[in-house]
Structure 1
Amino acid sequence: MSIRLDEFEDCAIATSARQWRARLAAGDVVLGLWVVSSSPTVAEILGASGADWIIIDTEHAPNTLPGVVAQLRSLTASPTFVVVRASSKDPLLLGQLLDAGAAGLMVPMVESRADAEAVVSATRYPPRGRRGVGGGFARATRWTHVADYLPEAEASFSLIIQIESLRAVEALEEILNVDGIDGVFIGPADLAASLGHLGQPRHPDVQAAVERAITIAVGRGAAVGVNAFGFDDAIRYRDAGAQLLAVGADVTLLGSGSAGLLARFGRSPAPDPIEHPPAEDSE
């Protein structure tokens, strides 16, 4: 039995790309959580947490494509919006993630207008882009049961690009001129590295660059977000105009939660089995 894309989305519990775009256009601040454990069970737990969006990471997490599909399936009963962060800008990879049914796609290290145009092209079918057509093999089409997926594909997902270097911040005005991008997401850790402050995302130079990027995006009416695991950081970014806030990750929540619980009983964190010399103060 065939079904139209809008009918399929109306039957789903998970937030659709259309609903997500409407929230961003309305100026809603959306709180997100990363899944980097590669665990469908953990993804399902976070999906029930009340988070507005869940980001499944494939750049720094040991995720394979079948693992991503398992996590997407585990989140189908959650009302959250699900984004998959790709490991690279590789067009074949981006097409695979869309075919797997990712409603949201986050692409790292976009540093120029040319990069942004290439990403948009990789995620659109011809004649607008160069995404390969494999509808009959794709979970996104529910194996052709979503009859109008191909003509409606562009409406079925949301594209977010990452701004993670000084070069990207300096090119942000031009990047925002590219049609087909729903939001930009700033990565303070990589931005810190590009500014010569590796491991220091709260360095004043890094924070100034983050705030500059937010100001540029807000001035252009673009949805902008940032990784903000510290509560005070998240509030400051929100007040500056950031909408897409990623405020935690499964592994950090598990680590801090378990350590905090045991600390109430007087237990100290387990010692590092490998002795490291004290790091030099780089501040």
Structure 2
Amino acid sequence: MDLPKNRFKAALKAGHHQTGFWNTIAGPIVPEALAAQGFDWIVVDTEHTTTEAFQVHASLQAIAAYPDVSAVVRPVSNDPAYIKRYLDMGAQTLMIPYVQTADEARAAVTAMRYPPHGIRGMAGGTRASRYGLVKDYMTRAEEELCLIVQVETASALEQLEEIALVEGVDAVFIGPADLSGSMGHPGNQAHADVVAAIEEAFACLKAINVPSGILTLNEDFARRLISLGSGFTAIGTDISSLMRDVSALKARMD
């Protein structure tokens, strides 16, 4: 059996924009339903959610039923132990939160790779290798692995180019929520200074030919960033969509 292809990584390299959605509700049902909508990518988030590592496995299986939809897993931190587990589960694209320096980006790269180029622990019978059927998995795995690093503070933005150009980093995701807080405007992602910082970051990444991405619930801002070169844009989260629609329904019935 051949090494599974990473459609998300291929689209990044080809410069095709990909529209995504955020899964925060634990369990496989919601990510499966989101995949059925036909988004290009679904984030299975374990940083700001109650989703535990063992639940990610079932979510990956659910999304896999839709071959045109890519799964992206966000670990709780830049932790080699979690990175190893999610890769063994078959996640091919990881989004690492709160990367502050080029050294931290290099640490994530190292955690993604097998020796002699990294520190990923070796296990033969995992879902990633199709339970051992991909015979050359350990020598070829990194060909189809994709590393996204999150840059989400004013301090990290000052080192954006150094972080983005670390060998093995495939894309940079700008985190607007934490960025707003670090800039003194917590929760106000629409503040002019925050918007300017995001747009400058996208311009920088475009200039150095590194794919950029973001999550924004503002549709106009999403379109603006796509026009500035966003390679992968998440346009909503499951819980925000649920609360918005339920609130609107309740208001109509009151």
Q: Judge same fold: TM > 0.5, yes or no.
A: yes
Q: 2:166 aligns with which of 170, 175, 178?
A: 178
Q: Secondary structure at the match of 1:216?
A: helix
> In the alignment, which residue of structure 2 is the partner of 1:100?
89
1:59–1:85 CA contact under 8 A, matched in 2: yes
Greater radius of gyration (CA): 1
SS in 2 for 1:161: strand
SS class of match (1:25): helix
2:146 to 140, 148, 158: 158
Asked whether 1:121 is paired with 2:119, we answer no
Count residues with an aligned counterpart.
253
Structure 1: how far apart are the matches of 2:131 and 2:227? 44
Whole-Å separation in 1 of the counterparts to 2:14 and 2:80:
31
Q: Which amino acid aligns with 1:152?
A: R
Q: Does the 8 Å contact 2:27/2:51 carry over to 1? A: no
**Matched residues in 2 for 1:25 and 1:114: separation?**
24
Code of the aligned partner of 2:244? S
Give the CA RMSD over aligned residues: 1.2
Structure 2: give runs of 5+ residues left out of the alignment.
Answer: none
**Does 2:190 match 1:215?**
no
Q: Give the corresponding residue for 1:53.
A: 41
Counterpart residue identity of residue 125, structure 1: Y
CA apart distance, 1:145? 1.9
Equivalent residue in structure 2 for 1:4, among 2, 7, 14: 2
| CA drift at 1:21 | 2.4
For 1:271, the equivalent position in structure 2 comes to none
Q: Hey, what does 1:256 align to over in structure 2?
A: 244
CA drift of 1:259 comes to 2.2
The alpha carbon displacement at 1:152 in A equals 1.2
Q: How far off its partner does 1:104 sit?
A: 1.1
Structure 1 distance, partners of 2:223, 2:122, is 42
Once the two structures are superposed, residues 255-278 of structure 1 have per-residue CA deviations (whole angstroms, 9 ceiling, x without a partner) of 11222233333x3xxxxxxxxxxx
- The separation in 2 between residues aligned to 1:27 and 1:228, in whole angstroms, is 20
Q: Which amino acid aligns with 2:237?
A: A
Deviations 1:51-70 (A, max 9, x none): 11000000001011111101
1:91 aligns with 2:89: no
Would you say 1:144 and 2:132 are equivalent positions? yes
Name the amino acid aligned to 2:230: A
**CA–CA distance in structure 2, aligned partners of residues 194 and 145 of structure 1:** 47
The percent of aligned pairs where both chains have the same amino acid is 41
2:2 partner amino acid: R
Aligned pairs (5 A) from 1:34-49:
34-49=22-37
Task: Give distance in 2, aligned partners of 1:124 and 1:109.
Answer: 20
1:112 corresponds to which letter in structure 2? T
Q: Where in structure 1 are there 5+ consecutive unaligned residues?
A: 10-15, 268-283
Q: Deviations over 1:120-145 (max 9, x none)?
A: 01110111111111223x22112212
Q: Which amino acid aligns with 1:147?
A: K
Alpha-carbon shift at residue 208 of structure 1 (Å): 1.4
Structure 1 residue 4: Cα displacement? 2.5
SS in 1 for 2:185: coil
Runs of 4+ in structure 1 over 6 Å off:
none
CA distance in 2, matches of 1:154, 1:46: 27
**Correspondences of 1:168-207 after superposition (within 5 Å):** 168-207=156-195
Matched, 1:132 2:132: no
Structure 2 residue identity aligned to 1:55: V
- CA offsets 1:17-74 (integer angstroms, 9 cap, x no match): 1x32231222211110011001211111100101110000000010111111011111
Contact 1:99 1:135 in 2 (8 A): no
